[in-house]
Structure 1
């Protein structure tokens, strides 16, 4: 990639960069698959100034099957708890599937009320966790790092 960039072959350098990123995503998915079990969504975000970049990892049968990112505007004066609560309410009001476990970077306001709301939408128990240690905490750190990198990419564009 560096050789292509130095030779001013930027298209080839970009292609190589994309291939490296694709390999990294596969490796990341395999690493995650070895540390978690079951079905869960893992949600974390990075915030700077008036923007928050939210990253959601979808884990099904212990494997990372996908991820989505969202950019929230107007978050300058909001605390992490408020951002997470607002996102959870908005995202799960329109998503077709709610897993039995949400693993979050930050707590939400009125956890029991939100769990009950999600449970009524899902038709089965839903639990919200903010891990303090272990594999789930490490997974949240990974998702948060992805969010931070996404926010950095936004600043470049």
Structure 2
């Protein structure tokens, strides 16, 4: 394997794992996904554009593989992991741990499109343009999804309702 591939891909692995775990909600599946992504990136390295943005290209591969797995998973029965506990590298206080659980739960309640955009931009620090390339959508769509995701996440974390209030519609026929 050429050294430029390793020099490019190695620093991306922690970010790829983080994004995969946020998408799949399972550490084992996420690690398998990252492995598949890296295998595909190495095998198709010749397809990587020379525009210097291999990071967006690799995230695109990971995102597409994740979406394929998620579509398949909806057709198959879901298996629950026996042990979902992960060792923490830093012990959080009880309050920090609870806040982290609240954020992760709120993220899980976001629609996939909003969660993906939010994670790519807020966590993985991709630009709007890079996120648009990864998700294969226009930059304006990235901006609107990000805005909706941030708003919904804020409402979920503050305990506000995320549903629109019901409107009373008068019946014109009955004069009601």
Same fold (TM > 0.5): no
Normalised TM-score (structure 2): 0.24
Q: Which has the larger radius of gyration?
A: 2
Name the one with the larger helix percent: 2
Name the one with the larger strand percent: 1
Normalised TM-score (structure 1): 0.26
